[in-house]
Amino acid sequence: MALIQCPSCNKRISDKAKTCSHCDFVLAGRSSEDLQREQARAVQRRKDKLLSQSMLALLIAIAAFAYTFLEQPHPDAWQAQVSYGLIVVGLVWFVINRVRIVFLKRGR
Ligand SMILES: [Zn+2]
């Protein structure tokens, strides 16, 4: 018995399994073409998810930056601390998502 990667969720499953035990994807009776198509679809799904997450992260950073720029809260005020925190978190989250997209495209 060998382990293969589920084309849908990418987790390790037995090559004898008829359905994936993680996501219930049906493997039995599928051609390799079918499986490849499903794999491409799954990669696209993950990419879309990462893309929308990175857009959300960027939006948070921009909103926090715009708030700091327009309202100019006192640097010691909690509003300023929260905005700085959100800018950093948003940018870091954005970069992480972009890096994950790059790795996804390489077909890791
Ligand atoms: Zn699966």
Rounded average pLDDT over 34-53: 92
Mean per-residue pLDDT over the chain, rounded? 92
Rounded average pLDDT over 36-60: 93
Q: What is the pLDDT of residue 73?
A: 93
Measure the CA–CA gap between 60 and 57, rounded to whole angstroms. Answer: 5
Question: Tens of pLDDT along 18-29?
Answer: 999 999 999 888
Q: Are the C-beta atoms of residues 64 and 80 closer than 8 Å to each other?
A: no
Question: Tens of pLDDT along 70-108?
Answer: 999 999 999 999 999 999 999 999 999 999 999 887 765
Q: What is the pLDDT of residue 107?
A: 62
Percent residues over pLDDT 70 in the chain = 98
Tell me, in angstroms, the distance from the centre of ligand 1 to residue 47's CA: 17
Q: What is the pLDDT of residue 50?
A: 94
Q: Which residues pair with 26 in a beta bridge?
A: 19
Tokens read off for 9: 């969720």
Q: What is the pLDDT of residue 37?
A: 92
Tell me, in angstroms, the distance from the centre of ligand 1 to residue 69's CA: 46
Q: Give the sign of the dihedral formed by CA 107, CA 10, CA 45, CA 26.
A: positive
Tell me, in angstroms, the distance from the centre of ligand 1 to residue 30's CA: 14
- What's the chain's Rg over C-alpha atoms? 21
Report helix, strand or coil for 72.
coil
Tokens read off for 23: 């996501």
